[in-house]
Each structure stands twice: as structure tokens, then as C-alpha cells.
Amino acid sequence: MPVDTTELLNVLRSPSGIDFYPVVIQVLMVLTWAMHMFFINITIGSLLMTIVGYVQRDLKWRKLSQKTIKIAIISLSLGIVFGVAPLLFTQVIYDNLWYTANNLSAWLVILFVPIVILAYYAAYFFYFRNRDRSPSWLVLFPLLSLAGILYAAAAMHIFSYQELFPDKWVDWYTNGGTTMNTSGWHVYAFSVPRYLFFILLSLFVFGIYMKGYAWFFSKREDMDQSFVAWFGQVGQKLAAVAGALLVLDAILYNALQGTLGHPVIWGTVGFVAVVWALLMAWSRSSAGWVAPTLVGLAFFSDLAVGIMREAIRMIELAKFNHTIYDYPMHLNIFGPVLFFGTLGVGIAVFAFVLYVLYKGGRRAGVYEASKVETANTLWRFAWFTVVMWLVIFWGTGVIVLANLNNY
Amino acid sequence: MGQDLLGFYPQWYVPNFGSGYVVAAIASTHVLFSHISVGASFLLAYLLYKAYKGNHEEIYAYVKRYFLVLLLTSYIVGSLTGPGIWFSTTVSNPRGISALIHNFVWAWAAEWVWFVTEVALVYIIYYIFDKIDRRTLMHISWVFAVVSWGTLLLIVGILSFMMSPGSEKWFHTGNIMDSFYNPNYFPQVAVRTSFTVALAALMGLAIATRMRESKLRQELVREVSLIGIGGLLLAGMSMIWYLETLPDRAKTTLDFAIPEAFKNTIFISIILVALVFAFFYALPKANRSLAFLALLMVVVLGLTIFPQERIREWLRKPYIAGDYLYVNQIVARDVPAKGVKSEIPFIDEHGFLKVHPFVPASAKTVTPGNMLEAGRAMAMISCAHCHSLDPAGPRPLVQKLEQVSTRPDVIYQFIERRLSGDPHQGAAPYMPQIAGTDEEIRALAAYLADITKQYVESKRATEQAAR
């Protein structure tokens, strides 16, 4: 007797349920995924431009590759750390989908770690060796790095895509009810338009980021301003081409998925199209607000894509009468208090360091932040909140344990 | 229950190696690099304070180099192997990691806040090291130290719960706090924090080999060595406290089931590291070989951290998490506050093969014709999380059963006794209770007898060929 998909989706949920409103976890998942994707987009885009820049004969392009590889290694780090949160939240509300999709193709997720480590070291090696007159074969390293990151992207794509077919999981794994595919080497589903969509998104977002980079360093007297301006123009061209292809590919993928008619899909794809139109409309504007506004909109494009991705998942699951909103819940507020409290402290710390980074980054020479009242105030507040976090954290522990021993 | 299935996932199996070793390799690597980064954050904040007070340019150069090494090691390998533990446990023990995720999502989310802050800060510190005044640099480094430690403070709550909730309270309240702050929490924080300092000191000695010889370098080597000895001493003392807080089941396993060689290896490797610290404290000029210290770190990874991680996993048995979820994915006791019910009665009544969604239709019902196929499916879902079904890998069943019998009926009796869950019948405290119908257990015994027989015959043939 075939397995009932609705029952399967329900029984694969954690028997202990969740401890807070699923919609809150869903919002956090989409939001943090957008942050993760923003940095991964920058990583992929910057690695590609590193390769393109390095193979040109013009020294200007070589210098571009020196800038973009530095962007790549930092954004890869940030992409990884921001990726932890959506990975966490998806395991809470989509545990049934995530664990199954991973176990169907187990080796893909295991190889993810060593391959990204190798990609990272290849990028770092290139970063240290990339000089104005370094040999052309060195380009193998950013190529290797990009290949590694694209592998990781493919693995994540496969999991996310296999998630959308719960009615096929058992047949896939058992070869139609005859065996158990325990090897973990199988790939059961792959969508080229969907995968390509994220690559194009990377080029679109990174092109805009290059414009933002040019804006940020436009006041630096110790930098070659003609190069900085050119850097931004390259970004404009990249984003213009990639953005147009991105919108077309989004329409193609949703048409193939059968989700094109849904209003959320129209809204999110439409938003990306509007951002692309604004990029084109403001292409010749020299106003100071244009580049930072576009960078903000690039992030919101990632957020729109995150919402689109989530909408597709919900549409597909609705076919099996499955929704995360009825996930059994045992409300417990201590956990959310711990998280949101820690988040508040983290924001206080970021307010201090980002202020110092912004002010210091936009000028030449040493920035004397400790002589600036605003920086000092932000530092004192950040330190106070961090110490208070420790006090409350330890204090709670002592109280809980004292009560535990009396239980 | 009003349902036919239970929530078991597709199973991944690595022949002759075991998915558990994959997890252990990733986890041990993560422990080494993440612990170095936590200890280093305090060491570097202290050194920046010292450099600021004494205006020591050489210390600034040392600290900057240390930060670069951290970026290239802990913040690549450590950062990736962290999610790597999730990835590997997702495919080796999905319900185990799911149980932890669903109880501790917010603690993990809080840890993520510190993780993001920590990684952002390490990049900011390194890249603006010479572009910012040194007082501010020192301030940022102290924040970096506390948030880096914060990641450890949060993850230890989850790790200690894995060993045991430590009381009955959590089962009845379901409150995250009652499981996070369990009796094992503070001792484990003390052990790990002390050990991070020692590891950071070891890394510190390695980086000091790249400094040119000077009085300041010698002072630094001596100071770092002393810090290393202090870290090890504190870790040793905290370990006594830690062992006291283990559940009785784990203490029995530690005393009677874990080979002495495992424990001795850890002890000797720690003494070796302590002696190295003492040697460099006495003769700081001798600290010149980067290769030696890199090798020592590999020794620590292989002979201290890896066996320690294996022992910690062993001590949890038969559970994978929270004293309620067996390592073979079966919920083994009720957690009333969470509405969790033991799955053993349901499986005993309906059959493990039947309620497992990813067992093929051809093996769902045991018949004389599919005995071995159904038995293999049973072995896969009941045993293969810990035991290799092949001659090599973790705890191969054929090597164990070779000493019992190759007869299905004897193996059946052995399973019934050894996995009865009742110590009076001879059940091992670290083995889960067998779940399934009598036919399924007989099929399992038939399969195990078959592979053991094949193993014994092939071994005999090899021995004869060798003669």
C-alpha cells in the first residue's frame, strides 16, 4: 500500500513539537536567509569578476581582481555565518522536509564542508599571490574556489528542490518499493532554471554592490578615484545585464514549477524587476544617495526572492494539505527571551563597531575613535550590555540549578 | 495513535566506516579550532591590554599575526565544521539532531548572534588593526573575547543536555531552562574554558616561533607557557567535578565498558602537552620549531580530543539525546510536558518494518522468502547507527557475534537477553532495548547469523590460504 503523503509529512515532524509561534520562526528564517544570500551573492559575483579581471591584459582589470578577491573572502565568511540561522530555523518548522531531502543525498551534504574549506583556501591563496605581474596560471585558484562554491550552491539547491516532492520520496529511496538506497550518492531532482536563477541573482546583486563600493570609497584621497569610479561603472553594466536575465529566468522557472499565477510570485518577481528598472533609470545619476539606495534595494531583492522561495514551498505543500501553521506547539517564552535579549546586545555591539568602521573606512590615516564622543558612548553602552548579559546569564543558571536540585 | 507510521527518516549507511566516524571526525576538528579561537580571544585581549599599557610594538605585531592565523584556521575550518556537525548529524542521526534543535532552537539562535558578532569582529579587528587608535582596538578586543566565550557558554548547555537532562524536572515542565542549566553544565563550562586557554597557548607558542629573538619574545613565551600550564591544571581539576555530575549509567559505562587504553591515551597526551609547556617555560629560547608545535596540535586532535569525543558519545548510550531518544532513533520514554510518547510499545505491536516509512514494500512483512532481506532492513534501522554490518568499521556485529554463534536461534536468544532493557537478564546498560515483533527479531537473527557465518568462513579461508 502506498504511503499517504499527508500522513508522512505529519509523522516526520518532531514528536516534541515547537515551543513558539511557527510564523515567527518562518519570518526569522526568511529574513536571515536573505542576509545569508546577500553575502553568498556577493561571494559568487566577486569570484566571477576576480576571474574575469585577472585574465584581462589591462592592469586596471588586474587591480579590480585584487579588490574583488578581498571582497570574496570576507563575504564568504559572512555568508557562512549568516547561513547558520536559516539552517537552524528550517530544521524547526521544515524538519520533515529538510532531514528527508538531506538523507536522500547524504554525501552531498557531507562533501559540502571539505569542498567549501578548499574553496576558501584557494581564494585566500590567490588573495596573497595576486600581484600586478603574477603569472596567468594563478587564475586556477579563483576558478577552483568558484567551482567549490557553485558545488555548495548546487547541493543546497538539490535539498531545497527535493523538498518540494514529498510524494516521491519513498519511491526514490526504495526504487519503487524494492530496496533501500542507503549509499547517499543519489541525486533525485535538479532544476536548471532554478539553479541558474541564483547565479544570475549573484551577478545582479554584486554589480550593485560594486556601485556601492565605488560610492563608499569616493571620498578616500589615498585611493585612485578614476579607478574607483570605473569600478562602479563595471558594476552597473554587470547588474544591468544580469538583472534583465534574472527576471526572465524567474518567469521561466515559475512557469515550469506551475506557480507563475500566484500573486505572491508576481509581487516578488515584480519587485526585482522594479529594482532592475530603477538601476537602469538611475544609471547616469551622480547623486550621492543613488548607490547606497540601490545596495539597500539589492538586499530587499534577496528578501523578495526569499519570500518567493517560501511561497513556492507553501504552494507545493498545500497540495498535500500540509502547512507549518498547525505544527503542534508547547509555548515556552524563556527561549525567545534568551534569543531576543542576546540579539539586542548583539545590535548594541554592532552599533559601536560599525560606527567606527564606517567613520574610519571613509578617511585616510588612523582614526582616533576614542577621542570621538559618539564612539565612546557607543562603546560604553556596548560593553555595559555585554557584561549585563553575562550577569543575567550566569544568575539565571544559578537560580535554575538551585531549583532543579530541590525538584 | 490513529496512524500507521512513525517519523523515521531514510537511512544513510557508510560501509566499513560508519556514519558515526564521519560525525566524530568533523566534530573533533571543530572542537580543536573553535576552542583555540575562544581561548585566543582572551589571550589576545590581554596581550593588547599589555601592549597598550607598555606601548610594546612587538606585541602588537605578534597579536596581529595571531589574528591572521586565526582567520586562516579557526575562522575557516572551525566556522565550517560547526555547521558541518549539523550536516553530518542530519544524515547520520536526523531524529537526534532534531530533538536537540526543537528543544534548543532559541539557545542556538542566541549562539548564532554571538557567532555572527564574533566573526564580524575578527575581520574588523584584523583589517582595521593599523587604521584605528589602539585604545579603541583594545576595547573591541575585549568585546570580541566575551562574545567568543558566549558561543561556548551557549553550546555547552546543549551538549550537557545531550548527556542527560540531569533531573526529572524537564520531563515534566518542558522548560528550556530546566534542560539547559543541568547539573553537568557548569562543570563542562569550566573544563572546556580551561582547555581553550591551554589550546590558545599552544597556538601562541607556534606563532611566537615566527618572532625575531628578543627579551620580549622570551618573556612572551614564558608567559604563554605558564598560561598553558594553568589552563591544563584548571581543566584537570574541573574534570573531577565534571565526572561527579555524570549520570550513574554513564559512570558505569566509563568504569566498566570503555577500554583503559582510551582513557590512558587522553591522560598521557595531556601530560605530554603540559611537559612541553614546562620545557618552554624553562627554556623559552628553544621554542623555534613551528613544525614541532603543529605536530603537537595534530597529536592533541588525535589523542586527546578525538578519544574524548568518542567517550562522550559512548557515555550517552543507549541514548543520543536527553535520556529519552535512543541512538537508533526510537523514542524510548515519555516526555509528558512535550506530549512525547515512548514508541517502543507501538513498534512492538505493529512491527518496526511496518511503521518505518522508508522500508521498502518488499521487506515490510516477514515471510520465509524474504527473511534475509527483512533481517537486513531490521539490522539497518535497529543496529547500523552504531554497528557496522560489514567486517570493518565501528563495532562490527560479525566480530561480536563470532564469539556468540552462527546459529539463528542462539543469536535470537542473545538479542532477547542482551537487548531486553533489563540488567537482571544480562542487558548491557549502554544498549537500547530491541523493538519490533517476534518475527522481525527472528528475521534479524537470521540475517546476523548469515553474515556472521560468511565472515567466519571467509576468515577461515584466509587463514588457510596464509598457511
Burial B279-294 (b: 16+ CB within 10 A, else e): ebbeebeebeeeeebe
CATH 1.10.760 describes domain B343-466: yes
Mutating which of B91, B124, B127, B180 best tests the A interface, going by the most A Cβ atoms within 10 A?
B91
- Looking at residue A392, its pLDDT comes to 97
Q: Is A339 on the interface with B (CB under 8 A)?
A: yes
Average of per-residue pLDDT across B30-57? 96
CA atoms within 13 A on the CB side of A368: 3
Interval B407-422: pLDDT, tens: 999 999 999 999 998 8
Do residue A338 and residue B131 have CB atoms under 8 angstroms apart? no
Over range B7-28, report the average pLDDT: 94
The residues in A 107-126 lying below 8 A from B, measured between CB atoms, are: 109-110, 112-113, 116-117, 120-121, 124
pLDDT digits (tens, 9 = 90+) for A73-108: 999 999 999 999 999 999 999 999 999 999 999 999
Q: Do A396 and B177 touch (CB under 8 A)?
A: yes
- In the block, cell 557465518 appears at B453
- Chain B residues with CB under 8 Å of A11 CB are 3, 5-7, 357
Whether the bond into A2 is cis, omega within 30 of 0: no
Closest CA to A85 of A346, A334, A313: A346
Local structure of residue A19 (DSSP, 8 states): S
Residue A377: strand, helix, or coil: helix
The helix/strand/coil state of A182 is coil
The CB density around residue A199, as the number of other CB atoms within 10 Å, is: 19
ipTM: 0.95
CB-CB neighbors (< 8 A) of B177 in chain A = 334, 396, 400
Contact B86 A91 (CB under 8 A): yes
For helices B185-208 and B215-244, the axis angle rounded to 10 degrees is: 160
Q: Is the pLDDT of residue A232 over 70?
A: yes
pLDDT at position A1 is 65
Q: If pLDDT is split at 50, 70 and 90, which confidence band does A296 have?
A: very high
Kindly tell me if the per-residue pLDDT of A59 is higher than 90.
Answer: yes
- Find the CB nearest B7 among A15, A85, A169: A15
Residue range B343-361, pLDDT digits in tens? 999 999 999 999 999 999 9
Mean pLDDT of A234-251: 98
Residue-wise pLDDT for A264-277, tens only, equals 999 999 999 999 99
Half-sphere exposure of B73 (CA within 13 A, CB side): 21
Question: Domain boundaries in chain A?
Answer: 5-179+188-332, 333-407
C-alpha neighbours within 13 Å on the C-beta side of residue A14: 32
Instruction: Kindly list the residues from chain A whose CB atom is less than 8 angstroms away from the CB atom of residue B117.
Output: 346, 349-350
Can you give the pLDDT at residue A407? 67
What is the grid cell recorded at B224?
Answer: 604563554
Q: Give the minimum alpha-carbon distance from A400 to chain B in angstroms, rounded to a whole number.
A: 7
Which residue of B23, B41, B49, B76 is the best one to mutate when testing the A interface, meaning the one whose CB has the most A CBs within 10 A?
B76
Q: Find the CB nearest B112 among A84, A99, A352.
A: A84
Chain A hits for B93, Cβ within 8 Å: none
Residues of A in contact with B143 (CB under 8 A): 349, 352-353, 382-383, 386
Residue B2 has pLDDT above 70, yes or no: no
Whether residues B115 and A84 touch (CB distance < 8 A) is answered with yes
